[in-house]
Structure 1
Amino acid sequence: MANTPMTVLVVGATGSVGRLVVAESIARGHTTRALVRDAARAESSLPAEAQTVVGDVTRPETLPAAVADTDAVVLTLGSDGSAHSSPEDVDYAGVRNLLAALDGLTPRVVLMTAIGITSRSSVYDHLLDWKRRSERLVRASGLPYTIVRPGWFDMNSPGEHRLVFLQGDTRRSGTPSDGAVARDQIAQVLVQALTAPEATGKTFELVAERGLAPGDLGLLFAALDQDAPGALDGVRDEANMPLAREPQRVRDDLAAVRASGSASTAKS
């Protein structure tokens, strides 16, 4: 699997997975830019080699400088449940705002969401629905993408390091029995997907089972099925979120992203 050096923007860079993505990206020789809301916090939590740019996905005007001249974007953003960090505003609208800021740029996009995203469960206060809508925006954008749905963070047992890629999102109990994976392995998958042509246009769940960690992930990526061209959801996902029943603002966002993607393709 090729490892062509890129300029990579990490969104959610000071989060528990984002920090590891920054470190993994640097280790693989990429020029790595971290989008942060607080420069002081970033200085204490990120490697010195990371380039930091101050911005906020809920403030669209701060994003054009962050995305300028990037070859790839890794999105590990997530809301914290506070009044100022809701699933709709961060997990969904943050992705929408980032895509809008690209304004004709066509970077490689890797988005991290979550296993069980298609369950339609209200247990998480609709968090999963908003994450699923963010996936739909990325697919509609026309950009080269990979969408990774990790299992429960760091709840894998000792010796469970063999990565397993699944499709169809059939593990939806909302408990660790759906599968778990270490944060550092999530970061490795997200970063390796940037330079793996076999990962393009694919959506998958990521868990770890008993066994040794793999080296090159190319064969695992290659074994996956691609999402259907123009599809809203991942390959084999249950069709249980009809577009016609989606909020009008969500349908409008999808239409805008599709139009922008079509315009970018026409220019290129």
Structure 2
Amino acid sequence: MDVLSRVRHPNLVTLLGACPEARALVYEYLPNGSLEDHLTRKLTWQVRIRIAAETCSALVFLHSCKPLGVVHGDLKPVNILLDSNFASKISDLGMHRLLARSIGSSTLYHCTHLRKGTFAYMDPELLSSGEITAKSDVYSFGVVLLRLLTGRPAFGVSKVVKEALDMKCLERVLDASAGDWPYVQAEKLAKLGLKCCDMNKRNRPDAKEAWKMLQPLMKSISFARLSPSSIMLAPEYSSCIPSYFICPIFKVSYLAVHFALVDHLCIIKF
């Protein structure tokens, strides 16, 4: 609870408070549900790349926390929530681990016998050794990337994408509901996802390296090219934001953070 209350990042769900009597945590409310909800619906490729970059940014922040880094331990689409503008925020930090730094090594690790999480997103080395590291989150992130790219289930998605790249037919496995993926961007995203999903954690990039690979993809996305349906304010929010905070062209709030109203709180019992 102490760690959760101090962690603040634009792409992490904000803990607003706690109610000991009800054994409940109170988080900000995000009206568009989870990424999992939208992977089976139309979500443009521009928004998918933005979600990938935002999620990676949050991981860089968690892994770089001082004095001890934090690993999420259960990153998956159901734990990536979307606000009214489809900006993404990682949730469920209740499963976090503080990462100790081994003597004479830059590797962050924590040994645990509690193998929580969802199997398809879990680092194979965590399953075999019980050692959770920042690279465990990177593995999970890689699976999320490949799902954003293809819209396919997590199980076996890395094999499908690898075979498509080897056969130079990546376009066949891209999620058509995302629109016309630019091949260069899709290929870079696929290769990054596969690197993150490498069975050997030593071959995976860390979150900072992954972020450097995502930055050029983000720069290729113009704000004006985003789908109108994914940047418009939800009706229930448009009436409570002063007009001077609304862009006159796109009708989107300038504010990065929406103030949570009492009747728009997310309460999670523990």
TM-score range, shorter chain: under 0.3
TM-score (norm 1): 0.27
TM-score by length of 2: 0.27
Return the index of the structure with the highest Cα Rg.
Answer: 2
